[in-house]
């Protein structure tokens, strides 16, 4: 089996990203959402709706060989992780972790102090295992009747992710001592 590698998304990826997104929602989110919610969700996805990397937005594609198998999207100005989807055939093989780790490194290097995201209910555990904590319950509004329950989560930049010279300038918590 060929290895997974990451690259920036290109114009010609749009249809593949749409397919990955649709299949991930239909097959991986169906335990957490009703059939009506899932069908409304995928009905709103369009191949032309996928954004490309530009300015403050990073869109990464994970490929096995030449085949896109996942993608993730980050906005470093808002600090928002906007999307993370892996094709169901590849789930549980580390593709999501690889994409998330790479987007996090991009964010920390760009100076983002805290990443935030709206986790689908089925993905909350995935993010929790990677250092994200819940902030509050939220809703992703699709239509007046369909509002997807999700969890607003965040992860502060780990101290170790700061460039060395910045770390030296960051005030430290006072040392505690016993006398």
Ligand X SMILES: CC(C)(COP(=O)(O)OP(=O)(O)OC[C@H]1O[C@@H](n2cnc3c(N)ncnc32)[C@H](O)[C@@H]1OP(=O)(O)O)[C@@H](O)C(=O)NCCC(=O)NCCS
CB of 48 to ligand X, least distance (A): 21
Q: Which of residues 86-145 bind ligand X (CB under 6 A)?
A: 86, 91-97, 119-120, 122-123, 125-126, 129
- DSSP secondary structure string, the chain? -PPEEEEE--GGGHHHHHHHHHHHHHHHSTTTS-HHHHHHHHHT--GGG----BTTEEEEEEEETTEEEEEEEEETTTTEEEEEEE-GGGTTSSHHHHHHHHHHHHHHHTT-SEEEEEEEGGGHHHHHTTT-EEEEEEEEESSSS-EEEEEEEEEEPPGGGS-HHHHHHSPPPPPP---
Q: Is position 22 an interface residue for ligand X (rule: CB under 6 A)?
A: no
Looking at the Cβ atoms of 57 and 93, the one nearer to ligand X is: 93
CB of 175 to ligand X, least distance (A): 35
Q: Is position 19 an interface residue for ligand X (rule: CB under 6 A)?
A: no
Looking at the Cβ atoms of 30 and 166, the one nearer to ligand X is: 30
CB of 119 to ligand X, least distance (A): 5
What residue ranges bind ligand X (CB under 6 A)?
A: 24, 28-29, 84-86, 91-97, 119-120, 122-123, 125-126, 129
């Amino acid at each position: 089996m060929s290895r997974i590698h990451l690259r920036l998304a290109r114009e010609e990826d749009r249809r593949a990203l749409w397919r990955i997104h649709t299949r991930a929602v239909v097959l991986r989110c169906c335990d957490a959402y009703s059939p009506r919610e899932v069908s409304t969700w995928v009905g709103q996805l369009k191949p032309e709706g996928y954004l490309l990397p530009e300015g403050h937005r990073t869109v990464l594609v994970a490929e096995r060989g030449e085949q896109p198998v996942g993608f993730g999207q980050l906005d470093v100005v808002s600090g928002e992780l906007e999307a993370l989807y892996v094709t169901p055939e590849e789930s549980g093989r580390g593709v999501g972790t690889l994409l998330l780790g790479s987007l996090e490194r991009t964010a920390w290097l760009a100076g983002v102090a805290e990443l935030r995201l709206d986790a689908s209910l089925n993905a909350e555990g995935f993010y929790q295992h990677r250092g994200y904590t819940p902030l509050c319950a939220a809703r992703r509004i699709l239509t007046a009747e369909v509002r997807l329950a999700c969890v607003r989560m965040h992860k502060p930049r780990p101290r170790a992710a700061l460039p060395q010279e910045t770390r030296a300038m960051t005030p430290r918590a006072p040392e505690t001592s016993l006398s």
